[in-house]
């Protein structure tokens, strides 16, 4: 087999779309839009500002929300920190209880842990074996003291989709705020903020083929909330997040989102085809378990365990030609067993053998054939190794 290098870690970050690179280059080369978008005393600054505001409007149109309710951040980690910490602090007189799930991204869970040290109580809902939280349990957990529910849309390790529309109905009925970490779903699934009563939504450009270091947060009726600033300084983003706006990154994010919407159906279908191709190759192996719901899931993330094979040894065996991961990128350095799968009640071999394959727009069927064949080879080799 000719040697290749295949990248199957799109959930950590996919390659930047060529059209996004084009936007960046065009912007960098332009001689009239490089100015500080806050320097509106002159035409250069005004041009930069209008580009930024057009991009904000473009993003708002896709999410069907008011552009004034969008705040640019460095990504979803910052957006999640903003919502969890600043909103909780701002409204603590209305309640000091938060509800989240045990399978959230660390940027939500660690904020919750921090808030616990500040006197807040947090309920961590445990999902079932398929990764889905129980909505009755969620509703039952809401008390008079509950301020905010924070549940992610799509899980970054399993691809499992939580029913955010139903959760939003519950939170609206019960009068509590609802935050959605939509890092893995924006651009992949329809999110209509005019229809779904979500209070806050976090997103990150590099998850939808944009560049790293830019993202945002939607905060419904932002001006009325009178939230404390995330970063103090020059007063950008209506005083909520000071710092010179990175025009190039914001324009690149708008292009990436535009593309994601244009390609949404094709990207989705392509991911299904790739997943089917992968699974059909893997049929030649026995002892495979797919982790997480296979119905409420995005097709571009496949989490699976190979009986008798540890994730570490498989990842290392494939390291030179097929890039796969054992969990979220933020944790994979430590090669620890996934807390997400553990929370789903997965244990033993299935837990320690779990790997994540994630792919997308630029993954070809040939890439998948090669990767699947290499997976089969290495799983067979490692199984023989452990038998002897
Ligand atoms: N939430 C989820 C679900 C994610 O997958 C990620 C990225 N791994 C983040 C938050 C953090 O996003 P960012 O890299 O933009 O800080």
Same domain for 152 and 25, yes or no, is yes
Q: In total, how many domains does the chain have? A: 2
Q: Are residues 59 and 126 in the same domain?
A: yes
Write out the catalytic residue numbers: 330
- The pLDDT of residue 84 is 97
Ligand 1: nearest atom to the Cα of 78 = 16
pTM: 0.96
Same domain, 225 and 341: no
Q: What is the DSSP string of 140-172?
A: HH--TTEEEEE--SB-TTT-BBP-HHHHHHHHH
Domain boundary among 213, 233, 261: 261
Verify that 246 and 146 share a domain, yes or no: yes
pLDDT score at 336: 79
Range of the domain at 295: 6-16+263-387
- The answer to whether 299 and 154 have CB atoms below 8 angstroms apart is no
Residues 216 and 240 in one domain: yes
**CB distance 158 to ligand 1 below 6 Å:** no
pLDDT on residue 55: 98
CATH code for position 360: 3.90.1150.10
Examine the domain organization and report whether 300 and 161 are in the same domain. Answer: no
Give the domain CATH number at 80. Answer: 3.40.640.10
- CA of 153 from ligand 1 middle (Å) equals 12
**How crowded is residue 322: how many other Cβ atoms within 10 Å of its Cβ?**
24
Residues 28 and 143 in one domain: yes
Q: How far apart are CA 67 and CA 53, in angstroms?
A: 8
How many other C-beta atoms lie within 10 A of the C-beta of residue 314? 23
Rounded Cα gap, residues 101 and 386, in angstroms: 36
What's the pLDDT score for residue 4? 83
My answer on whether 36 and 174 are in the same domain is yes
Question: Do 23 and 120 lie in a common domain?
Answer: yes
Ligand 1 touching residue 181 (CB < 6 A): yes
Q: Please give the distance, rounded to the nearest whole angstrom, from the Cα atom of residue 48 to the centre of ligand 1.
A: 28
Instruction: Look up residue 269 and give its two tokens.
Output: 């279908």
pLDDT at 2 exceeding the cut of 70: no
Does 185 fall in a domain? Answer: yes
Burial status of residue 164 (CB atoms within 10 A of its CB: 0-12, 13-18, 19 or more): buried
> Does residue 63 sit in helix, strand or coil?
helix
Q: Is 156 in the pocket of ligand 1 (CB under 6 A)?
A: yes
Answer yes or no: are the C-beta atoms of 371 and 24 closer than 8 Å: no
pLDDT, one tens digit per residue, over 175-206 is 999 999 999 999 999 999 999 999 999 999 99
Query: Quick one: pLDDT at residue 184?
Result: 98
What CA–CA distance (Å, rounded) separates 384 from 388? 6
Nearest atom within ligand 1 for CA of residue 215: 15
| pLDDT higher than 80, residue 3 | no
pLDDT band of residue 333 (cuts 50, 70, 90) is: low
**231, 246, 261 - which closes a domain:** 261
On the question of pLDDT at 382 being above 60, the answer is: yes
Q: Are 33 and 48 in contact (CB under 8 A)?
A: yes
Residue 1 in any domain: the answer is no
Domain identity same for 163 and 46? yes
Q: Residue 328: pLDDT band by 50, 70, 90 thresholds?
A: low
Q: In terms of domains, do 117 and 64 share one?
A: yes
Q: Is 341 inside any structural domain? A: yes
Question: Distance, CA 204 to ligand 1 centroid (Å)?
Answer: 7
């Amino acid at each position: 087999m000719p040697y290749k290098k295949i990248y199957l870690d799109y959930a950590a970050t996919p390659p930047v779309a060529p059209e996004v690179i084009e936007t960046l280059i065009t912007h960098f080369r332009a001689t009239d839009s490089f100015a500080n978008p806050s320097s509106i005393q002159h035409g250069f600054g005004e041009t930069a500002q209008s580009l930024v505001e057009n991009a904000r409007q473009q993003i708002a149109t896709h999410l069907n929300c008011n552009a004034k309710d969008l705040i640019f951040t460095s990504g979803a980690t910052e957006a999640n920190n903003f919502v969890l910490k600043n909103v909780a602090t701002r409204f603590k007189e209305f309640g000091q209880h938060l509800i989240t799930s045990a399978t959230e991204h660390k940027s939500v869970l660690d904020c919750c842990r921090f808030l616990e040290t500040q006197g807040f109580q947090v309920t961590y809902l445990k999902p079932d074996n398929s990764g889905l939280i129980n909505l009755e349990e969620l509703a039952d957990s809401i008390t008079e003291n509950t301020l905010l529910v924070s549940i992610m849309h799509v899980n970054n390790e399993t691809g499992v989709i939580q029913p955010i529309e139903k959760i939003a109905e519950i939170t609206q009925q019960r009068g509590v705020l609802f935050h959605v970490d939509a890092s893995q779903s924006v651009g992949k699934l329809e999110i209509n903020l005019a229809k779904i009563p979500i209070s806050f939504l976090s997103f990150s450009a590099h998850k939808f083929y944009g560049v790293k270091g830019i993202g945002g947060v939607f905060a419904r009726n932002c001006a009325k909330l009178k939230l404390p600033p995330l970063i103090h300084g020059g007063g950008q983003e209506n005083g909520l997040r000071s710092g010179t706006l990175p025009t190039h990154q914001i324009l690149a994010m708008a292009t990436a989102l535009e593309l994601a919407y244009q390609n949404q159906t094709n990207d989705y279908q392509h991911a299904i085809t790739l997943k089917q191709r992968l699974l059909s190759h893997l049929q030649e192996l026995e002892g495979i378990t797919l982790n997480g719901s296979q119905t409420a899931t995005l097709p571009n993330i496949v989490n699976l365990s190979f009986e008798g094979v540890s994730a570490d040894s498989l990842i290392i065996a494939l390291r030179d030609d097929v890039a796969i991961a054992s969990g979220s990128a933020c944790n994979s350095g430590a090669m620890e067993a996934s807390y997400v799968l553990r929370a789903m009640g997965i244990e033993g071999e299935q837990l320690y053998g779990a790997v994540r394959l994630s792919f997308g727009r630029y993954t070809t069927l040939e890439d998948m054939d090669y990767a699947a064949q290499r997976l089969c080879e290495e799983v067979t080799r490692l199984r023989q190794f452990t038998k002897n």
